[in-house]
Structure 1
Amino acid sequence: MANQVALTSANDLFLGLPRFPGHETTPSVARRNPDGSVVAFPGNSWNEWKPGDDGKNAFVYVNSLHIFADDTVWCVDQGGLRPDASPKELSTPKPGAQKIVQFDPHSGKVLDVLRFGEDTLPTGAQMNDLRIHGSTVYLTDSGLGGLIVHDLSTGKTMRRLSGYKEMLGVVAPTATATATGKSKSKHRTPKSDMIEITQDGKWLYWAAPTGPFYRVATDLLRDARVSDAQLATHIEHVADIPLTGGCAMDTHGNLYLSDLDNKRILLMPPSGKKTVLAANPELVSPDGSFIGADRRLYVPAPQSERTELFGNPKDLTKKPFLILSLELPKKFDGTELGNAVTGQSV
């Protein structure tokens, strides 16, 4: 089951393979070779975690991966299995298991590992996804709701807006509701989840899957002298969105939203107007998207809604798991489309 995809500038493709309920046996991260074969990455003990291991130097639950301007691979490992589907002893990360790991895409060498203390990751926190601009790493926490800002040059980390209403999303009905209105689904909707940063690095965008999308100026977010209460007054409501599994942003500030209920990709320019960019019946549970250097939009379809977690009597997923892609036109419905945001300063 692949829920994340990312590519280097040379089109080396990497996949995030989460230990979703019913799909716990997985190498967690994989790379596609030039001959089309898919192999575990980096191909050693990082891919061999099993229940009972401490998970400090192995993938436990890779929720997202991304590639930026330097072509290195960044993986976000929540360090424990899903708390909505696993016992506490497996869903509670062991010390050091929740981490961010940076790899060389060719050799698989570990370049950096970021681990945070309880002040940054209190009990229940789950790092979800990340974006990098310059030397600053921005992360969403989908467990408690919040943003994490880490400066790679100084090593300083701040937890921001923890538990604020803008981090919690809105309540949405599930697709598995019964005739009585009660859901058989055990799935817990994440809090602050999707994250994007503009090409110039000035605005950080985020949303829970239920929306809305918000944004805040990064200079205020990074300024420790600005309290959370003060920062909250500068949060801007961007747009309400349908139930969304993942997103991407281009250099013109356009957002590409994975519309879960309708198996389609919505284009949302800065104006907030939404247009259907593409639709395909194979887009089942579309998740974390990626714009490649080839100006293609890549969207994984992990079929998570077909698992038992969502109230199905058994796992209904069908192999193969697909990654769909679409060449982005220069213009669509009057909106100019840009290139990939790589985190490189303008």
Structure 2
Amino acid sequence: MSIAAIPTIKLELALQSPWMANQVAITRNNRLFLGLPRYSAEFSTPSLARQAADGSLQPFPGNSWNTWKPGDDGREAFVYLNSVHVFNDETVWCVDQGSLSAGVFGEQYSKPAPGAQKIVQLDAKNGAILRILRFDDHILPPGAQLNDLRFHGSLMYVSDSGLGGIIVHDLENGKTIRRLSGLSVVKASDKAPPAMLAHVKGGTTFHPPNSDMIEITADGKWLYWAAPTGPLYRVETRILRDMTRSDAEVASQVEAVYDNNFSGGCAMDSEGNVYFSETVTHNITVWSPTGKTAVLVSDPRLVRPDGSFISQDRKLYIPVKQPVNTVTANGKSEQRFNIYSINLPRHLDGIDLGRAITGV
């Protein structure tokens, strides 16, 4: 299968952040939010930021939720945000893994304290905390790690990148189920490139997460997920939610649909196309449910691109985790992190590109 690139599509610099961002989300009114994980013990960072009218980035909400430090209670504060997303309700949903890298912060902070691992919903206008979801050991057994989430109606689908698994929570009745826990279809493959497997972070060998990226089609029929290593899997949501089926029976209905390159994040449009932020290639590659693939953009500035987001005006926003050294007016050297955007064309090498999925 050939992959064709369209050279006329441009990568635009949307904004710069003083903090490393791995997630971006935007409301219909163009309120832009960044997810800011604690990767470094050397550089302090808030966990969530919102872009102000003057273009500056401010911690959001502006209170103790963004001032957590190792040793503090993590129940009512952000510890390590791994996902930030905006859906049809125009609120901000955050996935807090509740723990830090053992290699960077020490083994004592590598396991979430009780109540620290959580999902938080905020008002996009005033930062009010609207909802906090925590799950018991049946849904989050030891070693489980909340990663990302998507909605269709009242149903929330969450990936577990620790043990591997899919969590389904119904906001209407409060019921939660855990599916496919630890099975091969939610595990990282062993095909990751040596350049990634040899990656050293905080003095420890990098181990790819398990089921990480997660997407749901606009009609709610298909749930997709992938570890960074791939492959991309899918299953019908009705089968996943059918509790008369065992996990093994559900797994037998799971399809491996695409052997993606190592990717830090992805997005899906209303046509069911998945946009992969490829870690090593500097590409954003589009996979179509027809099986066709095409490179949307290839640019050397895309070093370690991560969780992308499609806005209502059909722009793809891509945060890049590679720092850029800049010099201020007083001659001081500082690090900045770039967030890029692409105006999505209507068609890409025979693939019809869609609009944002809002979860309804």
TM-score by length of 2: 0.88
Give the match for residue 293 of structure 1.
312
Within the candidate set 141, 145, 149, 1:130 is matched to 149
Q: Specify the code of the residue in structure 1 equivalent to 2:344.
A: L
1:336 matches 2:352: yes
Within the candidate set 154, 165, 170, 2:189 is matched to 170
Give the match for residue 263 of structure 1.
282
Q: Specify the code of the residue in structure 1 equivalent to 2:339.
A: I
SS in 2 for 1:230: helix
Tell me by how many angstroms 1:182 deviates: 11
Q: Specify the code of the residue in structure 1 equivalent to 2:358.
A: T
Tell me by how many angstroms 1:83 deviates: 3.8
Give the match for residue 7 of structure 1.
26
Tell me by how many angstroms 1:117 deviates: 0.4
Structure 2 CA distance, aligned partners of 1:227 and 1:126? 22
Equivalent positions of 1:237-316 (< 5 A) are 237-303=256-322
Larger strand proportion of the pair: 2
SS in 2 for 1:286: coil
Identity of aligned residues (%): 56
TM-score by length of 1: 0.92
Asked whether the 8 Å contact 2:310–2:355 carries over to 1, the reply is yes
Tell me by how many angstroms 1:186 deviates: 2.5
Tell me by how many angstroms 1:87 deviates: 2.3
Asked whether the 8 Å contact 1:78–1:98 carries over to 2, the reply is yes
Tell me by how many angstroms 1:176 deviates: 5.8
Deviations 1:37-82 (A, max 9, x none): 1000011000010111120000000011100001100000000112
Distance 1:24 1:135, change over 3 A: farther
Asked whether the 8 Å contact 1:77–1:97 carries over to 2, the reply is yes
1:73 matches 2:96: no
Deviations 1:254-296 (A, max 9, x none): 1101111111100111122221110121111000010000100
Give the match for residue 50 of structure 1.
69
Q: Specify the code of the residue in structure 2 equivalent to 1:299.
A: I
Tell me by how many angstroms 1:207 deviates: 0.2
**Structure 2: any 5+ residue segments left out of the alignment?**
1-19, 324-333
Tell me by how many angstroms 1:84 deviates: 4.8
Tell me by how many angstroms 1:174 deviates: 3.5
Query: Which structure ranks higher in relative contact order (CA pairs < 8 Å, sequence separation ≥ 6)?
Result: 2
Size of the alignment, in residue pairs?
A: 331
CA RMSD of the aligned region, Å?
A: 2.0
Give the match for residue 30 of structure 1.
49
Structure 2 CA distance, aligned partners of 1:134 and 1:68? 10
Give 4+ residue runs of structure 1 displaced > 4 Å after superposition.
181-185
**Structure 1: any 5+ residue segments left out of the alignment?**
305-317
1:20 matches 2:39: yes
Asked whether the 8 Å contact 2:197–2:206 carries over to 1, the reply is no
Equivalent positions of 1:106-255 (< 5 A) are 106-171=125-190, 172-175=192-195, 186-255=205-274
